[in-house]
């Protein structure tokens, strides 16, 4: 029988925010996801701290829902550049929406997971983000996202 979250499980996971895809050619990936797959382009942003240019797309025309994030390396110092050189384009990370990224990170830290940052950093649309090391999570880089609306107490 499948068990639901027990008392020791991470609190405040409120959804699957986005799936991150590492791409080498951002414009070609945008064409694939919009003109061929029919997703809606929602947002484009450069995040120098993360070393990426990113595009957010949504499969739902009437609401954002879970999004697809295309991430391309900004330069050769980017972690994306390293990933693409070693593994090539493809699935890069899963981003869970959490109600409180500091709390979620602290809980995971106390349980022995490696968080990439001591304090949250700025992600898409002013969100606060942290990552759990993929070697601690079955080979999947997990991003924790607290949206700017949540940070401002609006959601
Ligand atoms: N998924 C799974 N495994 C990965 C991985 C990934 N994304 N990246 C690296 N690895 C594996 C890699 O294959 C290797 O395993 C090991 O981790 C170390 O890789 O068995 P192997 O081959 O030894 P390295 O040495 O290539 O990488 P490292 O220098 O250790 O860096 C890995 C990591 C996860 C620490 C680095 O990529 C990182 O700092 N990532 C966090 C920042 C990031 O990825 N930003 C881009 C997304 S920005 C975003 O999503 C935003 C802004 N947002 O708001 O949503
Ligand atoms: Co992301």
Query: Quick check: is 143 in a domain?
Result: yes
Q: Which two tokens stand for residue 100?
A: 């409180």
Starting from the CA of residue 19, give the closest ligand: 2
Both structure tokens of 72: 């391309």
Residue 154 pLDDT = 46
Instruction: Provide the CA 6 distance to its chain's centre, in angstroms.
Output: 25
- For the CA of 92, the nearest ligand: 1
CA of 94 to the centre of ligand 1 (A): 12
With a cut of 60, say whether residue 81 has pLDDT above it: yes
Q: Residue 44: which CATH number?
A: 3.10.180.10
45: annotated active-site residue: no
Domain presence at residue 5: no
Q: How many structural domains does the chain have?
A: 1
pLDDT over threshold 80, residue 4: no
54 classed as catalytic: yes
Q: What is the mean pLDDT of residues 113-127?
A: 97
- Nearest protein Cα to ligand 1, atom 4: 134
Domain containing 80 equals 15-150
Distance (Å, rounded) from C-alpha 113 to C-alpha 54? 27
Identify whether 105 is part of a domain.
Answer: yes
User: Which pLDDT score, from 0 to 100, does residue 79 have?
Assistant: 96
pLDDT of 61 reads 72
pLDDT digits (tens, 9 = 90+) for 7-52: 556 767 889 999 999 999 999 999 999 999 999 999 999 999 999 9
Report how far apart, in Å, the C-alpha atoms of 47 and of each of 61, 62, 112, 113, 137 are: 26, 27, 29, 25, 25
Note the pLDDT of residue 90: 98
pTM check: above 0.85: yes
Ligand 1: lining residues by beta carbon, under 6 Å: 20, 47, 50, 52, 69, 71, 79-80, 82-83, 86-87, 92-93, 95, 116, 123-124, 127, 129, 131, 134-135, 139, 141, 143
Per the residue annotation, which of 69, 81, 92, 150 is the catalytic one?
69
The residues, any chain, with a CB within 8 Å of residue 60's CB and separated by 6 or more, are 40
């Amino acid at each position: 029988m499948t068990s639901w979250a027990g008392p020791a499980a991470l609190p405040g996971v409120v959804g699957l925010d986005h799936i991150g895809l590492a791409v080498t050619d951002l414009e070609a990936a945008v064409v694939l996801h919009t003109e061929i797959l029919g997703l809606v382009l929602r947002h484009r942003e450069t995040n120098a701290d993360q070393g990426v240019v990113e595009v957010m797309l949504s499969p739902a025309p009437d609401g954002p829902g879970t999004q697809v994030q295309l991430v391309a390396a900004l330069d050769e110092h980017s972690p994306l550049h390293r990933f693409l050189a070693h593994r090539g384009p493809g699935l890069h990370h899963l981003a869970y929406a959490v109600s409180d990224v500091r709390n979620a990170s602290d809980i995971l830290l106390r349980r022995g997971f490696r968080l990439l940052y001591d304090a949250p950093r700025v992600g898409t649309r002013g969100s606060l983000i942290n990552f759990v090391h993929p070697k601690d999570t079955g080979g999947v880089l997990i991003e924790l996202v607290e949206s700017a609306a949540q940070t401002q107490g609006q959601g």
